[in-house]
Structure 1
Amino acid sequence: MKNKPIFLPVIVISIIFFILQVLIGVFYFDFTVDSFPWDLIIIYNISFFVFSFFCIRFFQNIFIVSKISEIFMDVKSNPISLTKNYTSNDIQFITKNFQQIYNERKNEIETLKDQESFRKDFIGNLSHELKTPLFSIQGYIDTLLEGALDDKNVNKKYIKRAQKSVERLTYIIDDLDTITKYDSGTKIINKTVFNLIDTINNVIDSFESLLDKRIISLFFNESDKKVLKVHGDEKKIHQVLTNLISNSIRYGVSEGTIEIKLEEIENNKILVSIIDNGLGISKVDLPRIFQRFYRVEKTRNRDEGGSGLGLSIVKHIIDAHDEKISVQTEQGVGSNFSFTLELYTR
C-alpha cells in the first residue's frame, strides 16, 4: 500500500484532536456523555482526517521533490520545478534518471579501476624490463673488476655481453620515448609517396639470417611486382613491418612459415597482412596485446629479448596514419596481423 506511511501520523493527529474535543466539551461546556454531540464530533473528525491526510501527503511530496531537486540540478541540465504538482509518475521518472546516472558513475568507477590496474601493471613491467639489462651489465662489470679484466680469454667476451645489454636498455628507452611522443602529439607523421614493395623487400632482407637460424620460411606474394605506390611515412611503415615480422619470428615454430600478403580493397586502400602458423594468441590475452609491456607467455618471451613495446608502437603508428589494424588469431594455429594504407593513384 503506497500511502501506508502517511496513515499513521494522520491517525495519531486525529486521535489527539478527538481527545482535545472531548476534554474541551466536558470541562469547558460541561457536556455529559449523554448530552455530548457525538454525531457532529464524528463528522468533524472524519473531515479533519481526510484534510490532514492530503495536507501531509502534499507537504511530504514537496519535501521529497525539493531534496531530490538539490541533487538532480547538480547532475542534469534540466532542473526540477518546485511549483509543479508532482505525481507518482514524476517520482518514477526522477528515480529512473537517477538510476541512469548511477549506472554511468558506476561505469566510470570501473574504468578508473581498470586504469589503475593498468598503471600498476605498467610500472611493474617497466621496472622488470629495465632491471633485466641493468642487472646483466652490473654482473659483467663486477666480474671484470674482481679479476676477469686481466684475463684475456674472458674480458673481451664480458665487455661484448655488457655492450649488448646496454644496447637493449637503449632500445627500451628509445621505444618509450617514441610512444611518449605519440601520446603527447609531438611525434609527427611525414607522409610521402613511396614504393611499398621495396620497403617490404628491405625488411625481409634484414631478417634473412634470423629466419635461417630459426628455420622459418618467409613468403611474399607480390615479390615479382616492381612498384606499388602508397601514401604514408616510409620510415614508420618500415618500423611497423619490422615489429610485426619480428613478432611472427619470435612466436614462430621451427620449420614454420610467415606470409606477407597485399590486397587492394575498397576506398582506395591496400591491406597488408602478416600471417604466421606460430603459437597464436589466447582469447584472454588478445584484448591486451597492444598494451605497453604486455607479453604473452611472459617467461619465454623475455628470454627472446625485445622491449615489450613493439605492438604498442605499431598501433600508435597506424593510428597516426588514420588507418586501421586488426588481428585474427587462434592459439596453437597462428596469427594474422593486418593493417591498411592509402594507395597512391595519381
Structure 2
Amino acid sequence: MSFLFLSLLSVMENQTFSADILSMEGLKVSPGASVPAFVLLLLIYVFIMVSNLGLVLLICTEPSLHQPMYLLFCNMSINDAFGATAVIPRLLSDVFTPTPQRYIRFYECVLQAFASHFHAATSHAVLMIMAFDRYVAICNPLRYASIMTSRMVVRLSAGAWVAAFVSVAILLGLTVRLTRCRRLISNPFCDNASLFKLSCQNLLINHIYGLGSAVVILGSSLGSVTLTYLRIAIMCFSSRNKGLSSKALQTCASHLAVYVIMLVASFTPMIMHRNPQWADGGKVASVLFHVVPPALNPIIYGLNCKELRQKIGSVFYTSKVK
C-alpha cells in the first residue's frame, strides 16, 4: 500500500515538474565561443546600464535640464535599462549552461515575456510623445511653454506607461489562461508567441488580439511620427530663418535616428523568422531590439544635444580636476 502511495506521489511530482518547468533553447553558442560571447554581452549590458542611468542621474540633478525634452529622455533611458535587464542577464546565465540543461519556471517565463513586450510598447509610446514635443517646439514655439508644462509631461509619460501596461497585461492574460501540452521555448528568451505555442488549444483569440494590438501600436506610431516630422520638415524648409531651421532639423534627426534603429531592430527578426534558411539567425536577431537601441540611444542623444554634451563634458572635466 505504501509502495503504491509513493508511486502515485512520484507521478504527481513529475507532472508538476513538466507543467511548471520549461526547457529554454536560449542562444546557440559553441563551447569555444562561450567566453567571447559572455564578455561581449556583459560589456554591452554594463555600458547600457551606466550610460542610460547616468543620463537619468545627470538630468535629474541638473536644474537647467529640467525641461520637457530632457524629461522625456529620462523616460526613454529608464525604459531602455529596464528592457535590457529583462533579457540580457538571463542570456548571460545561460551562456555556460548546456542547451539540454536550460530550464525556466513558467511564472518566470511569463514575467520575462511581460517585461519584453512592455519595453517594446513603451518605446513606441515614448517616441510618439517626443515627436509631439518637437512638433510643438518647432511649429508652435510661442505656445510651447503653455502646452508642454511639467504637468503635461507627467500626464503624457504616465499615459504611455499605463497604456503599454494594460495592452501587454491583456496580451499575456489571454496566453496564461491556456493549458500547456509542450515544454520547449524555442527562442533565446520568453515572449508571448513562444508561450502560446506551448498550448494545443485553439489560439484564434490570441492571434487576433496579438495581431490587432501590434497593428494599432505600430500603425499609430508610424503614422504619427511620419506625419509629425513631415510637417516639421515642411515648416523648416519654408522658413526664412535658415539657422534656426537647421538647428531644428538637427534635433529632429537624432529622434528619427533612434526611431529608425528601433524599427529595424524590431522588424529584422520578423522577416528572418519567415524564411526557414534564416530561422536561427532570426532567433539571434530577436535579441537585437533589447540590445542595440538601448546601447545607441544615449550616444545619439549625447552627441546631438548641445546642452547634454556640455553637461557631460563639464562632469568629466570636474572629475579630472579633482
Question: TM-score, normalization: structure 2?
Answer: 0.30
> Per residue, is there more helix in 1 or in 2?
2
Question: Relative contact order (C-alpha < 8 Å, sep 6+): which is higher?
Answer: 2
Name the larger-Rg structure: 1
> Per residue, is there more strand in 1 or in 2?
1
